[in-house]
């Protein structure tokens, strides 16, 4: 049986050390600042936010071209591997379609799977796929495992501002409900994505209330088999939250993966967003 290699787009937000440790190939998402297009692997988080300050037009993202995936698939298949490629949700990103188009010339040697999540919600699934690949599991097993994980993975996040998602359109389905309240109040919405769908969890009136509701939502999903936290700026608040999260889940804080999200999330969420990821135990 051919060994399996895992490919993912950079929307998974996995730190470079884990990408190297688990032999994952990352295809970068593109970031647009006005007319300038930059591959997001060329930008650190600090550089991204510095560009935001310097550019009058708000940043946007776009999916990699199919040729970017095709080159990766070809290299891995020619080396004798099967490939499982995990992507951002097909409903909200063109990345799945780009990868799927690229995969067509390789038949069953390349499988493309929609994770139904983003940032570390996607990242935890990619990590589990990579662990199974290194353990010698086949592509069909890994594909079915991810399809199962997708239904149990939630990323629940708090936005500090509505301006970025209003511009980006990612929450178009629930924005009218949020906007009705936001006209009169300075609100902090709490939103969940699970299995590729957004759900408005709550509309809160303060950062403290938002974090409390976030903790309540996590408690409601115990027991879990994995957890993570992603943020945009606001490192200190994220660290404090992770300490609470570890207590809620009865896990060592070091077992909870924490990272600052890259442009695929940051360009739509804005600064000072905080997301908790849990995979509910089966």
* Residue that is last in its domain, among 102, 132, 150: 150
**Are residues 96 and 202 located together in one domain of the fold?**
no
Full-model pTM = 0.91
* Residue that is last in its domain, among 104, 127, 150: 150
**Measured distance CA(215)–CA(248) in Å, rounded:** 8
The CATH number assigned to the domain holding 68 equals 3.40.50.10170
**Are residues 111 and 224 located together in one domain of the fold?**
no
Model confidence over 90-127: pLDDT tens digits?
A: 998 899 999 999 999 999 999 999 999 999 999 999 99
**Measured distance CA(130)–CA(4) in Å, rounded:** 9
User: How many structural domains comprise the chain?
Assistant: 2
**Are residues 141 and 236 located together in one domain of the fold?**
no
Average pLDDT, the chain: 90
State mean pLDDT over 4-31.
97
The CATH number assigned to the domain holding 163 equals 3.30.1180.10
* Residue that is last in its domain, among 131, 150, 169: 150
Model confidence over 117-175: pLDDT tens digits?
A: 999 999 999 999 999 999 999 999 999 999 999 999 999 999 886 665 555 555 555 55
**Are residues 126 and 227 located together in one domain of the fold?**
no
Which whole-number Å values give the CA distances from 72 to 66, 79, 279, in the listed order? 10, 11, 29
**Measured distance CA(150)–CA(262) in Å, rounded:** 21
Boundaries of domain holding 70: 4-150
**Are residues 146 and 160 located together in one domain of the fold?**
no
**Are residues 141 and 246 located together in one domain of the fold?**
no
Q: Is the pLDDT confidence value at 77 over 90? A: yes
Most confident of 24-28, 166-170, 247-251: 24-28
**Are residues 144 and 161 located together in one domain of the fold?**
no
**Are residues 122 and 182 located together in one domain of the fold?**
no
């Amino acid at each position: 049986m051919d060994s399996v290699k895992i490919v993912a787009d950079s929307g998974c937000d996995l730190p470079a050390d884990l990408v190297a440790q688990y032999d994952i190939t990352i295809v970068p998402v593109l970031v647009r600042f006005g007319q300038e297009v930059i591959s997001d692997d060329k930008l650190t988080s600090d550089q991204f936010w510095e560009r935001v300050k310097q550019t009058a037009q708000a940043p946007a993202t776009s999916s990699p071209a199919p040729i970017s995936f095709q080159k990766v698939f070809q290299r891995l298949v020619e080396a004798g591997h099967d490939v499982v490629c995990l992507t951002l949700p097909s409903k909200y990103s063109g990345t799945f379609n780009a990868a799927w188009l690229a995969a067509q010339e390789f038949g069953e040697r390349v499988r493309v799977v929609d994770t139904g999540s983003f940032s570390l919600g996607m990242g935890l699934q990619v990590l589990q796929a990579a662990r199974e690949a290194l353990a010698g599991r086949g592509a069909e097993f890994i594909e079915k495992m991810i399809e199962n994980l997708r239904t149990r993975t939630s990323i629940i996040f708090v936005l500090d501002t509505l301006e970025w998602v209003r511009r980006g359109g990612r929450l178009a389905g629930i924005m009218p409900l949020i906007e009705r309240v936001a006209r009169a109040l300075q609100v902090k919405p709490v939103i969940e994505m699970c299995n590729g769908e957004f759900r408005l969890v709550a509309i809160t009136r303060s950062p403290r209330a938002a974090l409390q509701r976030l903790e309540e939502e996590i408690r409601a999903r115990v027991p879990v088999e994995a957890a993570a936290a992603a943020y945009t700026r606001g490192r200190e608040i994220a660290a404090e939250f992770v300490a609470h999260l570890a207590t809620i889940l009865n896990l060592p804080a070091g077992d909870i993966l924490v990272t600052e999200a890259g442009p695929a999330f940051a360009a739509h969420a804005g600064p000072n967003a905080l997301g908790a990821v849990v995979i509910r135990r089966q």
